[in-house]
Amino acid sequence: MAKLTHLAEAGQAYMVDVSEKPATDRIARAEGHVAMRKETLDLALAGNSKKGDVFAAARIAGIMAAKKTADLIPLCHPLALTKVIVDIEPDAALPGLRVAAEAKVSGQTGVEMEALTAVSVACLTIYDMLKAADRTMHIEGITLVEKSGGRSGLFRRGD
Per-residue model confidence as pLDDT tens digits over 146-156: 999 988 889 99
Active site residue 25: no
Where does the pLDDT of residue 159 fall: very low under 50, low under 70, confident under 90, or very high at 90 and above?
Answer: confident
Which tens digits make up the pLDDT trace of 60-104? 999 999 999 999 998 899 999 999 999 999 999 999 999 999 999
Instruction: Choose the catalytic residue: 42, 87, 128, 134.
Output: 128
Q: Where are the beta strands (DSSP E) in 6-159?
A: 24-35, 83-91, 96-107, 138-148, 155-156
Q: In one letter, which amino acid is 100?
A: A
Cross-strand pairs, 84: 103
Quick check: helix, strand or coil at residue 74? coil
Whether this prediction's pTM lies above 0.75 is answered by yes
Supply the CATH classification number for the domain 24-156. Answer: 3.30.70.640
Identify whether the C-beta of residue 15 lies closer than 8 Å to the C-beta of residue 6: yes
The domain segmentation of the chain, as residue ranges, is 24-156
